[in-house]
Amino acid sequence: MSLKVSHHLLLCVPNKTSSLCSNLAQSKQSWEQLKFILKKLRLEEPNRPEGIVLRSKVDCLRICKSGPILLIWPEGIWYQKVFPNRVEPIINRHIIKGQPIKEWVLKNTPLRNLGNKVH
Ligand code: FES
């Protein structure tokens, strides 16, 4: 059985020894908040009709001065300054309602449509 995936969330939580991020403590707290909210809203249930929401902790997304950064696929939306208090609104509006919070978006890098035919 294949797993249906709704979104994949990548949050930078840098390795202390390798990063220039000035918000290391905030990144760690945002990661804990992200885990808590996804569990609370049951978004990690494998049988969720819309698909499961995956999360990954990544070391650095190379925009440290705007961090913590949360990158959401498949839209390719990069949220900046994702402090713990921004996590729940992003999940509620972007993931559940499908309405990204434009004021907090740093950039948008959508994947090309892989369904296009090659001519
Ligand atoms: S630690 Fe570099 S982008 Fe967050």
Average pLDDT over residues 13-42: 85
> Is residue 84 lining ligand 1, measured as CB closer than 6 Å?
no
Domains of the chain in start order, with CATH, are 5-108 (3.40.30.10)
35: phi then psi, degrees, rounded to nearest 5: -60, -45
State the pTM of this model: 0.90
**Distance from C-alpha of 7 to C-alpha of 98, rounded to nearest angstrom:** 11
pLDDT at 109 over 90: yes
- Ligand 1 within 6 A of CB of 19: yes
Mutate which of 16, 24, 31, 60 to test ligand 1's pocket (most atoms within 8 Å of Cβ)? 60
Among 14-23, 29-38, 56-65, 93-102, the minimum mean pLDDT is found in 14-23
pLDDT: is 23 or 60 the higher one?
60
pLDDT in tens, 4-21: 999 999 999 987 655 566
User: Ligand 1: which atom is nearest the Cα of residue 68?
Assistant: 4
pLDDT of residue 2: 82
Determine whether the shortest distance from the Cβ of 13 to ligand 1 is under 6 A. Answer: no
For residue 59, the ligand 1 atom closest to its alpha carbon is 1
Average of pLDDT values for 38-44? Answer: 98
> Stretch 85-92: mean pLDDT, rounded?
98
pLDDT higher than threshold 50 for residue 116: no
Q: What is the mean pLDDT of the chain?
A: 89
